[in-house]
Amino acid sequence: MADTVPVEFLPPRRVQDKYPYPPSFKVLLKNNDPPPADLDVTCTIPDMMVRAADDIALAKKEIQFLLAQIEEKKVDILALNRVIDDCNVVLSPIRRLPTDITLEIFCAVVGERYDVFEITRGPWILTHVCKKWRNSACTYGALWSSADITNIRSQRKTLSIREPAMLLQTALKRSGTFLLSVWFDYEIKKSPRAYQFSEIDLPSMDSDSGELSTSTVDDDESFLSNRRRYRVKGQNVAKVPTDCQLVSVLGRHSRRLKYLNINISTPLALKCLRRLNGRLDRLETLQIQISFDDRIHNEIQEFFSIAPMLHSVHLNDLPLASILHLPLAQLRFLDHQLLRMRADEWRATVPILLLRGSRLTDYGPPSPPALYKGEIARIDNALLRTFRVRAWYVLDYFCLPGIYELHIYHFLRATGQTAGDTLSDFIHRSSCTLRKLRLWGVPDSILSALPSVHKSLVDLEITVTSSNTNLLSGLTAFMCEPDHFPRLSRLEIKISNDICFYIDTLTESLKRIYTLVDELWDAGTKVRLEVWFSILDFRNVHRVCDVRKFRCLRDEGLDIAVFAARKRYWSDTTGHDEEEDVEALRDVLLYEDGQDDSSDSEDDDFEDDDDLGNVSEEC
C-alpha cells in the first residue's frame, strides 16, 4: 500500500487565495503613483494588515506546537532504541558463550601484565560487570599470574589505596596454581639513610600468622591484621615500610615464581628478599637492580643460590663476588652491569665465573678500566657461544675458540691501539668462526678488521652514532668488492638516538645509507638490508626519509625493510630475554605516502571510576 499523508499534514492553501489583491493595488506595487480614488486605503488595506498579523501569530503558535511534538517524538525514539538495546543485551551471544571462550576474551583484554594497584583497570574491572564475570575472573588464575608491583609514574593511579599489601595478597591468591611473573619496582619516599641502623623483625616464612605465613587459609583480613605485631628496631622507623610488606607478601607465593624482575630500594627490603632462599623451585628468569648506594657486601649471595630451574640472570650494580654464588653450572644466559668495579677484582673473578658456568652460552662482562698487559694470562674458555663486551679493547683479555656471536658496545675511549687490530688479533688468537657481529658505538677503525671476519659472517648489525660517522662509507666500499661477505644474508643498520633526536642529523645519516643502498644494488649484492631509526611522530617519516626511493628498489627486487620506531628510549638489547622500550614500530615501506597517522596517537589517560575507589576484597 502506497504511503499516504494525513489530511492535517497537507500544506495549507496559498496565501494569495486568502488575501486577493485588487488590480489597482497590484499596479501601485509597480510604480510610485498615489493611490487612486477607487482604492479604500483607510479601511481595506489596514484590515488586511491586521488579519495578516493575526495569521503570523497563529503560525508561530503552530510552529511551537510542532516543535514540542518533534521533541516528544525524539524522546520516544530514544526510549524505543533503549528497548531494542535491552533486547539485544538479553539476547547477546556473550551470555551463552562457553566459559573457556569467555576466559580467552578476558586474557586478551588484560594483556601481558597488569598493574596490581590500578583497581580501575586490568582484571579488577572484570569483577564489577556481573556475578558470572566476577566468579570467572576471580577463579581464573592466568588473569592474575603476571603482576606489576610498582608505584613509579603513578600520576594516573588511584592514590587512595590504604592497604597495598592486602591488595597484592588478594591478587596473588587469585592466581591459584599458575606460575607467577612479577615486576617489582616499588620505591618509598624515605631516604635510604633512614634505615641505615635499623633492623626488621619478621616471622618465619613457615609461620601460620602474619604476612610471611604460608597458610592456605582464605583470610586476608587476618593476614594483615598482624602487621602491627612486627617491630622495626631503630631510631628513624616507626613501622614496617610498605615495600617490605609487599616483598613479604611475595614471599608467601615464592614457590610459584617463574619470572622475577625486582628493584630493591631499601636495605630492609633486601633483608625480606633474603627469605626467598630455598623457596624458588620454579624460578627460571631473574632480574635484579639495586637502587640505593650502600655497598651490598655479598648480601645477595645466598638469595638465589638454590633455584634448580634458573637459567637466565640479569644483574645491575651487584658485586662480582656475589655472582659466584649463583648456580652458574645451570645458567645459559648471564648479564651483569656494574657501575663501580676494580680491574683486579674483575680479572680475578671472571675466569672463575666462566669455569663454573659450564653451560653458560651468553655472558657479558663489564669493561676493565685498563688496557690489557702481556704479563696477565688471558682467559681461555671454549664453552662460550655468545659473548658481549662493553669496550672493544676488552677482547685482549680473552681467547674464546667456541664463540660464533660477538656484541661490542663501546662507551669508553682508549689510546695506543685501534679497534680493528684488537678484533683481528682476537679472531686470529681464538681461531673462532664468527657468524654474527653486532657493533654499537665502535670507532671507524674497526673497518680494518673486516678482512678477518667477512668470509664467515652471516649476520651483521651496525649502530651508527656520532662517534663513527665514517663507518658506513668504509663499509660500502668494502662490501661492493668481489667475493667480500660471501655468506652475509642480513645487514642491519640502526641509527642511534643521539642522531635521531635531531631531524637534520638524521636526514644526513639517511643520505649516507642511500649511497650504501645504491652501491649494493649496482653491485647486485644478495643481502637483506634493514634500516632502523626512531622518530617522535610517524607523520614526519616522509620528511626525513626518502621512502619512495627505498620502495622503488624493493619493488625492483632488493630485499629491504625500513623500520621507524616511536620510543621513549632507544635502548640497546643486550640479552636474549630483554625487550626494547618501543611504543610503536612499523615498516614504513608497507605504508602509503602521506598516510594519516593521527590514529596512532592513543590517549592513555583513563578516568577513574568513583564506584571502584574502595579497596576491599570486593575488588
Which residue type does 342 have? R
Higher per-residue confidence, 259 vs 575: 259
pLDDT-derived band at 231, boundaries 50, 70, 90? very low
What confidence tens digit (pLDDT) does each residue in 517-547 have? 888 888 877 889 898 888 877 777 888 888 8
In a domain, 319, yes or no: no
Whole-number Å distance between alpha carbons of 3 and 229: 83
Asked whether residue 77 falls in the same domain as residue 146, the answer is no
Whole-number Å distance between alpha carbons of 112 and 510: 35
Asked whether residue 128 falls in the same domain as residue 44, the answer is no
Higher per-residue confidence, 175 vs 294: 175
pLDDT attached to residue 592: 56
pLDDT attached to residue 235: 37
Report, in this order, helix, strand and coil percent for the chain, each rounded to 5. 40, 15, 45
Asked whether residue 481 falls in the same domain as residue 566, the answer is yes
Whole-number Å distance between alpha carbons of 21 and 461: 94
pLDDT-derived band at 40, boundaries 50, 70, 90? confident
In a domain, 234, yes or no: yes
pLDDT attached to residue 247: 84
Q: If DSSP codes are grouped into helix, strand and coil, which group holds residue 300?
A: coil
Asked whether residue 42 falls in the same domain as residue 177, the answer is no
Last residue of a domain, one of 295, 310, 325: 310
Long-range Cβ pairs for the range 49-57 (8 Å, 24+): 51/19, 52/19, 55/18
In a domain, 258, yes or no: yes
pLDDT attached to residue 497: 82
Whole-number Å distance between alpha carbons of 585 and 49: 75
pLDDT-derived band at 76, boundaries 50, 70, 90? very high
What confidence tens digit (pLDDT) does each residue in 452-484 have? 898 999 999 999 888 787 888 888 888 888 888
pLDDT attached to residue 5: 44
pLDDT attached to residue 468: 81
Asked whether residue 80 falls in the same domain as residue 108, the answer is no
Asked whether residue 178 falls in the same domain as residue 211, the answer is yes
In a domain, 369, yes or no: no
pLDDT attached to residue 511: 87
- Cα angle: 173, vertex 142, 281; to 5 degrees: 65
Asked whether residue 105 falls in the same domain as residue 50, the answer is no
Last residue of a domain, one of 59, 90, 121: 90
pTM above 0.85? no
Across the chain, mean pLDDT equals: 75
* Average pLDDT estimate for 195-208: 44
Lowest pLDDT segment from 7-16, 127-136, 567-576? 567-576
What confidence tens digit (pLDDT) does each residue in 78-88 have? 999 999 998 98
pLDDT at 2 over 80: no
* Average pLDDT estimate for 119-146: 86
375-410 as b/e: b if 16+ CB within 10 A: eeeebebebbbbbbbbbbbbbbbbbbeebbbbbbbb
Question: How many structural domains is the chain composed of?
Answer: 3
End-to-end CA distance of the chain: 58
Asked whether residue 215 falls in the same domain as residue 237, the answer is yes
Going by DSSP bridges, is the β-strand pair 560-567/582-587 parallel, antiparallel, or unpaired?
Answer: antiparallel
pLDDT attached to residue 612: 31
Lowest pLDDT segment from 231-240, 329-338, 602-611? 602-611
Most confidently modeled range among 22-31, 143-152, 189-198, 445-454: 445-454
pLDDT attached to residue 492: 92
Counting every residue written for the chain, the total comes to 619
pLDDT-derived band at 573, boundaries 50, 70, 90? very low
Whole-number Å distance between alpha carbons of 489 and 35: 103
Q: Which letter does DSSP use for residue 408 in this model?
A: E
pLDDT-derived band at 578, boundaries 50, 70, 90? very low
What confidence tens digit (pLDDT) does each residue in 62-73 have? 999 999 999 999
pLDDT attached to residue 581: 52
In a domain, 430, yes or no: no
Asked whether residue 235 falls in the same domain as residue 155, the answer is yes
pLDDT attached to residue 71: 94
Whole-number Å distance between alpha carbons of 106 and 343: 52
Higher per-residue confidence, 83 vs 549: 83
Backbone angle region of 561, left / alpha / beta, with phi > 0 → left and psi within -120 to 50 → alpha? beta
In a domain, 436, yes or no: no
Asked whether residue 219 falls in the same domain as residue 115, the answer is yes
Asked whether residue 40 falls in the same domain as residue 130, the answer is no
What confidence tens digit (pLDDT) does each residue in 294-344 have? 555 455 656 777 788 988 888 776 777 677 778 888 888 888 776 566 777
Domain span at 569: 466-595
Q: If DSSP codes are grouped into helix, strand and coil, which group holds residue 150?
A: strand
Higher per-residue confidence, 115 vs 206: 115
Q: If DSSP codes are grouped into helix, strand and coil, which group holds residue 173?
A: helix
Q: If DSSP codes are grouped into helix, strand and coil, which group holds residue 297?
A: coil
Of the candidates 308, 300, 305, the residue with the CA atom closest to the CA atom of residue 272? 300
pLDDT-derived band at 584, boundaries 50, 70, 90? confident
The tally of CA atoms less than 13 A away on the side-chain side of residue 200 is 30
* Average pLDDT estimate for 186-195: 59
pLDDT at 191 over 60: no
In a domain, 454, yes or no: no
Last residue of a domain, one of 56, 90, 124: 90
Whole-number Å distance between alpha carbons of 376 and 584: 47
Asked whether residue 118 falls in the same domain as residue 42, the answer is no
* Average pLDDT estimate for 230-247: 59
Whole-number Å distance between alpha carbons of 560 and 492: 10
pLDDT at 570 over 80: no
Whole-number Å distance between alpha carbons of 558 and 524: 9
In a domain, 199, yes or no: yes
What confidence tens digit (pLDDT) does each residue in 492-524 have? 999 888 888 888 888 888 888 888 888 888 887
